[in-house]
Amino acid sequence: MKIALIGYGKMGKAIEKEAKHHSDTILVTIDSEADWNKKSGLLPQADVAIEFSMPSTAVKNIIRCFDAGVPVVVGTTGWEKDFEKIRRDCLNRGQTLFTASNFSIGMNIFFEINKQLASLMNRFEEFDVGIDETHHIHKLDAPSGTAKTLAGQIVNILDRKARWISGSDAATEHLDVVSHREGEVTGTHTVTYSSEMEEIKITHSAFNRAVFAKGALTAAHWVRDKKGVFTMSDLLLETQKRVK
């Protein structure tokens, strides 16, 4: 498979390294506007694009992939406010978009556990709930896209939480999402339910970026011949059906 790699930071380099194990070819790497000017002619030759850039450039990069008729797998987070517009554009133009706040298989299983736990805890109002996330100091968005996904799941299920907020708040109707940026931490997310007498914690920790690179490449292989808007839930659901 020929891949256009959009964004050549640490994640881009991890994907490049992982691609060698799949016998995939990195056809082109684009990491700046100057690269777009020099290399954009190669984009239509790619089977799929994998986009890990910055929140400020992600939307423009996605549209460029649509214009080139190339399926795009997006791992950049922090552009959620534009998602509906991009989703409609993708569907109206018959293009392909795969997005995920986290490409780790373990984290996507964690998402399902998070929903189940929130459902179980909905009637036990003595338990308050919060989310804590830690990433490396280079991460630009806070809370992380993964933490936002976890928070959104809980708020949608837990009747006593009206919305989530970034940071700590004494209001009991708010779900606090606390972010830390430390050293080179790849990513740790913890959901905690606490009462006066007991506590439940579920935690996911990623040890290195290879787990995200592997997931992004799995998504790229899965989506390359599809049309529409997809997430990791779609990929895992199809995989589960095949196993059955």
Distance from C-alpha of 110 to C-alpha of 130, rounded to nearest angstrom:
16
Query: Would you call 41 exposed, middle or buried from its count of C-beta atoms within 10 A (0-12, 13-18, 19+)?
Result: exposed
Asked about 135 being catalytic, the answer comes back as yes
Marked catalytic residue, from 135, 148, 189, 204: 135
Who's near 149: CB < 8 A, 6+ residues apart?
A: 101, 102, 111
Asked about 38 being catalytic, the answer comes back as no
Cβ-based neighbour number of residue 131 at 10 Å: 23
- CB–CB of 50/220 below 8 Å? yes
Marked catalytic residue, from 17, 21, 115, 139: 139
How big is the chain by its Cα radius of gyration, in Å?
A: 19
Active site amino acids: 135, 139
